[in-house]
Structure 1
Amino acid sequence: MTVLRLGASRAVLELREYFREGLQVVFTFALPFLLLLLFTSVFGQGFAGGSAGAAAYYVPTLTAMGLMAVSFQNLGTAIAAERGDGTLRRLRGMPLPAAAYFAGKAGMVLALAVLQTALLVGTGAAGFGMDLPADPRRWLDLAWILLLGTAACTLLGIAVSSAARTARAAQAVVALPFLLLQFASGVFVPVQALPPWLLNVGAAFPLRWMAQGLRSVFLPESAAAAEAGGSWALGTVALVLAAWCAGGSVLCLLTFRWKGARDG
């Protein structure tokens, strides 16, 4: 219980520090919103239902992108910066359990993920006339996909933070694979338009399955035929995301460092 209380307090502190960084907040939350506006306006006529149909496709895919941005991308660069400026080393010397530090990071990411999901879904419904699911089971699917996907990407963000020697290098280490995965996972381009080899690359990582699972929440059942396997395959979505949670945990244990390269 002490670790949980400390983790909750740490999460509140992390959120306060995050929202003090105005540019980071604007970039994280404005980019998916602007992409939704752009894609829906440009490609709306190519979808059944016009803008509402385009929003029903791009809201879940951009939500998946946003979840990975607030977890994998933000944590990968933020923790690398904390390691580089000595923050992690100082925290390690304080009577703060390591579990509380990681719980604080996870709590911050979860709060940002829920907020970003609510903003995108609300924008799609209020701004473009996207229909919201009437079946409660779809909202349950949204909840577990959000939790599992965010957990997997959070663990990957913590692990990848040790791959760069400096905070500046972390930007490239994190941003490049994230950008490539967005194209390989059907975020910007529908999966049926992607070549098989690129789909296979995307299938090895969580983003592809997060996007597919979230599409099952907002798109009609008939849209499953356009997926790579011809179905939503929610069992596979759950299995892959759970496997990445387990694998990410192992990677964190094997790679995480409290000290930077200059600290010895």
Structure 2
Amino acid sequence: MTTQGTGTSLEHKVHAVRLGLNRGRMELVQSIRSTQDQWFYMFTAALTLGYLWIRRDAETGVEGIPFAAVALPSILGALIAFGVVVGPAYSLAMEKEDGTLLRHRAIPDGLVGYFSGQLLFHSLSLVPQLVVILVPSLILFDGLMADPSGWFTVVWVTVLGLLASLPIGMVIGSLVPGVQKVGMWGMLPIMVLAGISGIFYPVQQLWGWVQVVAQAFPMYWMGLGMRSAFLPDSAAALEIGGSWRTVETVTVLGLWAVAGALLTPVVLRRMARKQTGSQVQAAREASMQWVK
């Protein structure tokens, strides 16, 4: 009986994951076809390329390395972190309000499927955003990638950074009382972290305790990992300790990823258990009043 029950439970989980991945794939297709999302990609790319072009002659502190080669990797790290924190937070908060999560809870292992779908959707949603920034950058600016092997580093930093950051967004979306609060608890902290994580200027210019805070979160390490991918070894002199600290990058991002994988399902289950149909209805009415 135990073996049969275990097998049935495993089948439910596998089926839930398949349904979740299929849902994530359909959401991705809808997103790519969405005019609103297309404009968002273009707007983000225009801002990034405009900033790099305006400051293309700025000094970097290392002879022979253009400003774009230093700034672009940091910006990519920040965009990845921003996208997989704020995006899932908004999605989860909205689907908590409209009853989607309540319906998932009624399905065996429905939350497992939901998490799988969100992971696929938000992971692959990064691809068009990165493409519309990277392709024009490679055309407009010289010396962006010092060594072709750096593309391998780009891949593993992106994957690890995604696994480290996405659970943060889902936890925020689970805990906030409504969509209107995501800006305060999601977007605002990410903007603060972007300001102290060495994205726009060296983190060494900040107070010592701020440097410690910045290095406690994934965004700093994603920016550092991206810079190690694009820049030559000589540019490591600009970093803390004069090194790319690859082992530390893997360790910190890996710890965040493991912690997120363990914590997020627990938070989702507790949130779903507390949610009722009357709460969903009340949230809908509150959101309608806010829109008015």
Deviation at 1:237, TM superposition (A): 0.3
Partner of residue 7, structure 1: 20
User: In the alignment, which residue of structure 1 is the partner of 2:7?
Assistant: none
**Is 2:105 the partner of 1:92?**
yes
- Check the 8 A contact 2:236/2:243 in 1, yes or no: yes
- Give the Å deviation of 1:105: 0.8
Match of 2:189 in 1: 177
Question: Residue 101 of structure 1 is aligned with which of 103, 108, 114?
Answer: 114
C-alpha contact 2:84 2:166 (8 A) present in aligned 1: yes
Matched, 1:115 2:128: yes
Letter in 1 for 2:267: T
The alpha-carbon distance between structure 1 residues 115 and 74, as it changes in their structure 2 partners (threshold 3 A), is: same
> Structure 2 matches for 1:239-250, cutoff 5 A?
239-250=251-262
Q: Report SS of the residue matched to 2:174.
A: coil
Query: Which of 279, 284, 287 lines up with 1:262 in the alignment?
Result: 279
Q: In the alignment, what sits opposite 1:41?
A: 54
TM-score (norm 1): 0.88
Larger Rg: 2
Aligned length in residues? 263
TM-score by length of 2: 0.80
Of 71, 87, 93, the match for 1:80? 93
Structure 1 112/236 Cα, relative in aligned 2: closer, same or farther at 3 Å? same
8 Å contact from structure 1 (residues 32, 66) kept in 2: no
Which residue of 76, 86, 105 corresponds with 1:63?
Answer: 76
Q: Distance in 2 between matches of 1:38 and 1:56?
A: 13
Cα RMSD between the aligned structures?
Answer: 2.6
The secondary structure found in structure 2 opposite 1:47 is coil
User: 2:164–2:260: 8 Å Cα contact kept in structure 1?
Assistant: yes
The 2-side partners of 1:226 and 1:78 are apart by 38
Cα distance, 1:140 vs. partner? 1.8
CA contact (8 A) 2:90 2:182 kept: yes
CA offset digits 1:57-84 (Å, max 9, x no partner): 1211111111112211110111111101
- The 3-state SS of whatever aligns with 1:161 is helix
What secondary structure is seen at the aligned counterpart in 2 of 1:229? helix
Q: Is the 8 A contact 2:204 2:211 kept in 1?
A: no
CA contact (8 A) 2:22 2:117 kept: yes
Cα-to-partner distance string for 1:144-168 (whole Å, 9 max, x where unaligned):
1110101111111111112210111
> Percentage identity across aligned positions?
27
Partner of residue 229 from structure 1, selected from 238, 241, 257: 241
* 5+ long unaligned stretches in structure 2: 1-13, 283-292
Q: Secondary structure at the match of 1:187?
A: coil
In the TM superposition, residue 21 of structure 1 has moved relative to its aligned partner by: 5.3
Deviation digits for residues 113-168 of structure 1 (CA, Å, limit 9, x no counterpart): 233233322222112224334342x2221111110101111111111112210111
Partners of 1:234 and 1:108 lie apart in 2 by 28
